[in-house]
Amino acid sequence: MKEEGRRLESIADKFLSLTENLKSFFLLLADEVFYTFQYLRKRQGTYPGEIRKQFYFMAYKSFPIVCLIIFLVGVTISLTSAAQLKLFRADIYLSWFVGIAMIRELVPLMTGE
């Protein structure tokens, strides 16, 4: 009987945690939508073409430095893991390891998570 009560309490805790997280998410989403539409309606302090100019600098102009960072991180990962993989005779998997590690490392780095 006590086991059922604990199980039910665990399920209830998970449900309450999920609803609290969803509530926080939707409050944040509503806040973002409200302020985005408010900004688009007023447009104070913005000059024509400014958004396009910022996209140009953030995307096109940053391409060389992003490529350099990707190259250096890939070299660093491969150098540090090659010796360890060689110990287990798994050095043929180095390219797979570097690819997966770079995806897991660079995606959060580039998106700023």
pLDDT, tens digit (0-9, with 9 covering 90-100), for 35-86? 988 888 887 766 778 888 888 888 888 888 888 888 888 898 899 889 888 8
SS (H, E, C) the chain: CHHHHHHHHHHHHHHHHHHHHHHHHHHHHHHHHHHHHHHHHHCCCCCCCHHHHHHHHHHHCCHHHHHHHHHHHHHHHHHHHHHHHHHCCCHHHHHHHHHHHHHHHHHHHHHCC
Q: What is the pTM of this model?
A: 0.51
Q: Locate the domains of the chain by residue range.
A: 1-45, 49-113
Q: What per-residue confidence (pLDDT) applies to 43? A: 73
